[in-house]
Amino acid sequence: SGRVDLLEWLLTNRPEAVHLDEETRKAMPQMKSKVPDAMMKAAEYGHFLLLKYLVGQAPGVCPPKCMDWALRIGHWPMVEWLAQGPCRESGPGREAVEFAAAGGQLALLEWVSLRYPALQATKGGMNWAANFGHFQVVEWLHCCRKEGADSSLTGLACRQGHLDIVEWACKTFPLHDTSSYGSRIVCPRDMINWSARYGQLHVVEWVHFNLTDGQPHFEDTSRNLEGATKDAMDWAAMNGHLDCIKFLHFNRQEGCTTSAFDMACMGGHLHVLEFLHEYRSEGGTQDCLGWAAMNAHLGVVEWLHRVRPHHEAQTLRPIDNCVREKKRGGHLPTIEWLVRHNYRGSTDAMDWAASHGWLDVVEFLHQSGFKCTYAAMDKAAGAGALDIVEFLHWNRMKPDSP
């Protein structure tokens, strides 16, 4: 039943009640391939008693990754038990350093490095520590281990807004240096792009003023060389980060592409669209209203229709976009608005609505004069939508061919 809490209570208070019946014992050889996964899940969630129980029922199959998970969550008793027992011969897995670093477990990192000096790891350790903001772990890995990092270190730190790690990396690794770890660590272009994408304005500002077009704060003025790309503003628009867009617009020269407008429409970020419409000249493509309609952003659809009437008149079949994808389509108020304002659709609209099981949409499109093909009933039947099959049978006896 998945009641780990109940099993652990029984293991603690009534161990004699926990046993395998004869049928289960006979099936254990076939179940053996699944036991390691269960052990790793027990270790991942800190269920120490459950892990002991599983190891006791299936000795000799405990995977080294159990210790990796125990290291990540900082479960000292589990780590020591695994090291002295089930994983005594194998030791931890190759991801031990990465897992412990991701969990910020500095003491366990020191322990595992001393106990297993030959343990091989990857650059993921420092990168994951940077992602989760474990500054002390990043410094320790840099000083005490050889795996190093790559540009993901600063990229992940920028993405999460860990400015202390960004500053440390920029002071530790020269701008164009690839000798330390065989790859470039500090890349201002990527740092601005990624921090803007995730709305980390304080990082965008710091990189701008210290590493690119702003007044450099370091003695090494050779760092003041690089810019960003148009991706910075495009990605910020995609996620609705207007503060980053304003900073990039008023302080930098890269600008954006039509993707900024289109992706803001897709995300329903009306505040971003209003700024781009007033201050930028790139505009969007003919697809932008369709993107907004597909994601049921009716407010954006209405705004586009109002401020860009001539452009939006050329939009290609936005009603089709509203029903194309089952996950995010079928918003009847948006479809009704588009029909009232004479936007176009094709037979695909009713076909797709039928295939997704949206009876209300099918009925409205039928009442509004839309047609369908034979695929509508076929797809509705395939989806098990009996109500739509019956509606089409009584109302669309002679569907149009494509």
| CB neighbours of residue 380 within 10 Å | 28
- Picking from 130, 129, 210, 123, the residue whose alpha carbon sits closest to that of residue 175 is 210
Determine the pLDDT at residue 220.
44
Identity at 365, one-letter amino acid code: L
Question: CA separation (Å) from 384 to 227, 350, 356, 373, 377?
Answer: 55, 16, 10, 18, 10
Reading the chain (402 residues) residue by residue, the pLDDT tens digits are: 446 667 667 666 766 555 555 555 555 455 555 778 888 988 998 988 888 888 887 788 888 889 999 999 999 999 999 999 888 888 888 788 898 999 999 999 999 999 988 888 888 899 999 999 999 999 999 999 888 888 789 999 999 999 999 999 988 887 655 445 555 677 888 899 999 999 999 999 999 998 875 433 344 444 444 678 899 999 999 999 999 999 999 999 999 999 999 999 999 999 999 999 999 999 999 889 989 999 999 999 999 999 987 666 556 688 998 888 877 777 899 999 999 998 888 999 999 999 999 999 999 999 999 999 999 999 999 999 999 999 999 997 554 544
Exposed/middle/buried for residue 55 (C-beta within 10 Å: 0-12, 13-18, 19+): buried
The residue extents of the domains of the chain are: 1-96, 122-215
- Residue 397 vs residues 366, 389, 392, 400: alpha-carbon distances, Å: 12, 11, 7, 10
Residue in 88, 67, 87, 97 with CA at minimum distance from that of residue 79: 67
In whole angstroms, give the CA distance from residue 300 to residue 264: 9
Distance CA 342, CA 357 (A): 25
147: which 2 tokens?
Answer: 């795996």
Burial of 116 (0-12, 13-18, 19+ CB in 10 A): middle
Residue 51 one-letter amino acid: L
pTM of the model as a whole: 0.80
Expressed in angstroms, the distance from the first to the final Cα of the chain is: 51
DSSP, collapsed to helix, strand or coil, labels residue 298 as helix
Cα 393 to chain centroid distance, Å, stands at 43
Q: What is the DSSP letter of 146?
A: S
CA distance 205 to 214: 9
Contact yes or no for 213/252 (Cβ under 8 A): yes
Structure tokens that stand for 88 in this block: 């005594």
C-alpha closest to that of 295 among 336, 339, 265:
265
CATH number of 122-215: 1.25.40.20
* Nearest-angstrom CA–CA distance, 84 and 69: 16
CA 251 – CA 270 distance, rounded (Å)? 23
SS3 content of the chain, % helix, strand, coil (to 5): 65, 0, 35
- Contact between residue 206 and residue 226 where contact means Cβ atoms under 8 Å apart: no
